[in-house]
Amino acid sequence: MVVKDLQGLKFNRLTAVRYLGKSLWECRCECGNTCRINAGNLQNDHTTSCGCRKIETIRKHGLIKTPEYNAWTNITNRCCNPNHPSFKYYGGRGIYICPEWRYSFQVFYNHLGKRPSAQHSIERIENSRGYEPGNVRWATRKEQANNTRWNHWIEIDGVRKTVCDWATSQGLHFTTICHRIARGMSERDAVMIPPHLSGRRASKRKSVSLAICASDSGGSSQEFTPGSPGT
């Protein structure tokens, strides 16, 4: 298939910057965001902005003031807008928001539902994953503080990493490490023993914080509370 050169061409708010392969173009939006758009969608006007146009539409329809909407805006900015002050902690570190959510507040909202109370804010369950179905929930400050407590550093042979980072590098699930420690295993063993060797049935005791690695160093449990800056 011949790739049509769209570089430098403007499609509504989007300007094609460079070809990424598989029909995807990196585009710069008039609002400053960059995004990846399918060439076909650019050319047939299916996609006309990075998503900011949709945001403006929602704004006009009055959904803008809700805490859920604020949370969504914060997340999309932190993950996708290099001009946002917190981008370096999120998008800049590879923390992404899945496309279905990025481009649709409604889809995001349908998944998460209404914020249960003013004490709740959005938490990523697993630090190594982004904002996507299954990895995000409403949690209270207290719940998040518990989780944060578990997101602690473990040093082994001079290498210091968070539980989540150890989990990633060892090919373990982060809850495995936390369950092992909760069962009394040393931190070293909890990290170093391969997944299939510590065996036994999956520990179901209490709530050994299944959402252990919720917070990352760039954020706090307060970051997605309504009214926080950055929208």
Residues that bind Zn ion (CB under 5 A): 29, 31, 33, 49-50, 52
The distance of closest approach from Cβ of residue 74 to Zn ion in the complex, given in angstroms and rounded to an integer, is 16
Lay out the sheet containing 14-21: strands in order across.
Answer: 10-11, 14-21, 24-29, 34-38
**Minimum Å distance from CB 28 to Zn ion?**
9
Least Å distance, CB 37 to Zn ion, is 11
Residue 42 and residue 230: Cα distance in Å, rounded? 28
Nearer of residues 11 and 150 to Zn ion, judged by Cβ: 11
Query: Where is 124: in which H helix or E strand?
Result: strand 120-124
- For Zn ion, the closer of residues 56 and 100 by Cβ is 56
The CB-of-34 to Zn ion minimum distance in angstroms stands at 9
* Angstrom distances, CA of residue 19 to CA of 23, 38, 39, 140, 163: 8, 10, 9, 43, 37
Kindly tell me which of 74 and 162 has the beta carbon lying closer to Zn ion: 74
For the CB of residue 92, give the shortest distance to Zn ion in the complex, in Å: 18
Nearest-angstrom CA–CA distance, 77 and 93: 14
User: Toward Zn ion, which CB reaches closer, 83 or 207?
Assistant: 83
By beta-carbon proximity to Zn ion, the closer residue of 30 and 187 is 30
Report the run of H or E that residue 109 belongs to, with start and end. helix 105-112
CA–CA dist 169, 127 (Å, integer):
13
Question: Count of alpha carbons within 13 Å of 122, Cβ hemisphere only?
Answer: 28
Taking the complex as a whole, the smallest distance from the CB of residue 8 to Zn ion amounts, in Å, to: 18
Residue type, 199: G
Strand partners, 139: 121
Cβ proximity to Zn ion: between 53 and 129 the closer is: 53
Residue with tokens 């959402």, as numbered in its chain: 211
Phi and psi at residue 120, to the nearest 5°: -95, 145
